[in-house]
Amino acid sequence: MERAPGPALEGGGGGGVARRSVRPAGLGGAAPPGSRQPGVETLDSPTGSHVEWCKQLIAATISSQISGSVPSDTVSRDYRVYKRPDKRALRDGNKLAQMEEAPLFPGESIKAIAKDVMYICPFMGAVSGTLTVTDFKMYFKNVERDPHFVLDVPLGVISRVEKIGVQSHGDNSCGIEIVCKDMRNLRLAYKQEEQSRLEIFENLVTQAFPLSNGLPLFAFSYKEKFPVNGWKVYDPMAEYKRQGLPNESWKISKINSTYELCDTYPTIFVVPTSVKDDDLSKVAAFRAKGRIPVLSWIHPESQATITRCSQPLVGPNDKRCKEDEKYLQTIMDANAQSHKLIIFDARQNSVADTNKAKGGGYENESAYPNAELVFLEIHNIHVMRESLRKLKEIVYPSIDEARWLSNVDSTHWLEYIRMLLAGAVRIADKIESGKTSVVVHCSDGWDRTAQLTSLAMLMLDSYYRTIKGFEALIEKEWISFGHRFAMRVGHGDDDHADADRSPIFLQFLDCVWQMTKQFPAAFEFNELFLITILDHLYSCLFGTFLYNCEQERLKEEISTKTVSLWSYINSQLDEFTNPFYVNYENHVLYPVASLNHLELWVNYYVRWNPRMRPQMPIHQNLKELLAIRAELQKKVEDLQHEAATRSISSSSDRGSSPSHSATPVRTSV
């Protein structure tokens, strides 16, 4: 399938030393996607209609009996037995069997194969084919269609698997409903002719939820070799040095070298120079989960900073901590340009009050006299999870054209995206225009806090808008500072109803995509880059997003036993490069955080609907444009070299008279 439509080239480029604020001009609102399919009741949520599902299953079974799309006499008996096949038998089998064989990654192994399985496609009806289950994916293929029909689903995207049995014309048929984390649901049906068929469901469940079944995640078996080592993308010392740290006001602390101060923080972080380790320990005791205020980013000129932390443990009795109060005063004092500190609490004020009654809370301005507390009113993880569930209901499998806009509005998804962007803009503006340092926190400081700090840093710092810089941003603000990826995504865990699951990282990347739409030339990466990151957030192919914090990853030896996603991406950068990219160095981007400037990310959320795919192969066109740009750049360099050679030659022939000096060629592509 094709990926995103390419952005239009935005006029203007980076340049100059002064930092400039950039706002998008003439942006249009979202156009509702087109679909010829009439709206029908969605059936793919966990509460979908099982009566309707049974009807589909029966229809598929009858259809298979009538069409006989894969005649049994053309299938070798080796494939009908549900067990790991002998590779030699696969190669020596008939041509059809070889065509249906699933391609494997290095380290991947086949666990089960079944013939005459029916995939009930919501767009093209029932398709009969061969189902292969490996320790990484579910692979379904029909070779009789032209082109061949292939369904290739990483098991990591599966959230829930249910088996449903029905009787059709005296035959026992079995159905499997698979609910996925990537906005689609899958339905399979087969006739339960032999006992080994029962293993289809059992193997699927075992391999889809390895941690719940005492098995390792597939990332530990994946043996692909890449020319680039993605684990070296982010070096905290190098990143802090890039920001000009340490300096006279800020130091690099290693007090957490054994994770004793805070078990969800990295070993290295930046704190005010004058703060002693004993005081840090007291501040940690006053902050939820020990997540003290630490520096995320410092302005290269004003020295205004973004620091992140968790809520203070004020409690219902307004408990105070003089070390914490002094600590925040020290953060303010480190910025000579301002005599104020803004504390952005991501939560709703009412929720923060509830947290306070339970022992948490927020900074009282009477205890922090030079601080201003601002609530950003962003909803919690449970609200976001429910919003995404509603969004899935309206985009898959069919779209109700007549109610499209009202249906999208009813999910509140874009409203929550707007609130995140608006909050990040306020943070970036305080830093850039107000030259004022800010502290950002939510409850624990690993969900909304990470969303806001990373989005603000993306607006403020053009380095993070490059491919390598964006990878470093994710490694720093999300992975090393303890966003609970395993908990929020549920890698390898069959507890699909876990209340800790929430699409926090997806929301962040959606916000980034919204920014790329408003500033199409400001980002080095393209839409495929963002979608690839999301796909592998779930896939468990790479070790990048596994586990909840740095300490857990160190214990599991992630960097030596698994492959980094950045190894894969950085080994084929042309696939993920935006051909319209202009380096807006020293430019601050202020996206318009208004609903009439935001749109649903159709190429991600609705990509499984074939009617929603662009008619032209957009990604291929972008690659061709990239090649053309490289060719033009080479021509420019050749012309510059030729002009310089002629200039030198002319100067040597005529002498070095100022009246004959050559004018240098200045060109920007």
Catalytically active residues are 442
Give the C-alpha separation, 457 to 243, whole Å: 12
Least Cα distance to 182 among 427, 505, 595, 434 occurs for 505
Cis previous bond, 312, omega within 30: no
Give the C-alpha separation, 98 to 389, whole Å: 39
| Helix 448-460 with 413-432: angle, nearest 10 deg | 50
Least Cα distance to 253 among 287, 295, 215 occurs for 295
Give the C-alpha separation, 312 to 251, whole Å: 23
Instruction: List all residues 6 or more positions away from 289 whose beta carbon is below 8 Å from its beta carbon.
Output: 262, 264, 310, 444, 445
Q: What ranges in 373-462 are assigned the alpha helix state H?
A: 381-395, 404-411, 413-432, 448-460
- Both structure tokens of 625: 């444009």
Give the C-alpha separation, 133 to 112, whole Å: 5
Give the C-alpha separation, 40 to 420, whole Å: 32
Least Cα distance to 506 among 571, 630, 413 occurs for 413
At residue 206's C-alpha, the angle toward residues 200 and 211, to 5°, is 165
Give the C-alpha separation, 72 to 69, whole Å: 9
45-72 burial: b if 16+ Cβ within 10 Å, else e: eeebeeeebbebbbbbbebbeeeebbee
Least Cα distance to 356 among 308, 317, 395 occurs for 317
Rounded to the nearest angstrom, the gap between the alpha carbon of residue 538 and the centroid of all alpha carbons in its chain is 9
Give the C-alpha separation, 13 to 617, whole Å: 28
Is-contact 186 153, C-beta < 8 A?
A: yes
Give the C-alpha separation, 356 to 379, whole Å: 17
354-371 burial: b if 16+ Cβ within 10 Å, else e: ebbeeebbbbeeebbeeb
Give the C-alpha separation, 510 to 519, whole Å: 14
- Both structure tokens of 266: 């990295």
Taking the CA atoms of residue 282, residue 287, residue 288 and residue 290 in that order, the dihedral angle to the nearest 10 degrees is -50
Instruction: List all residues 6 or more positions away from 57 whose beta carbon is below 8 Å from its beta carbon.
Output: 120, 164, 166, 168, 173, 175, 187, 189
| CA distances in angstroms from 398 to 5, 151, 612, listed in the order given | 21, 19, 10
For CA atoms 29, 35, 38, 44, the dihedral sign is negative
Least Cα distance to 378 among 407, 344, 354 occurs for 344
Least Cα distance to 298 among 422, 426, 436, 421 occurs for 436
Rounded to the nearest angstrom, the gap between the alpha carbon of residue 598 and the centroid of all alpha carbons in its chain is 18
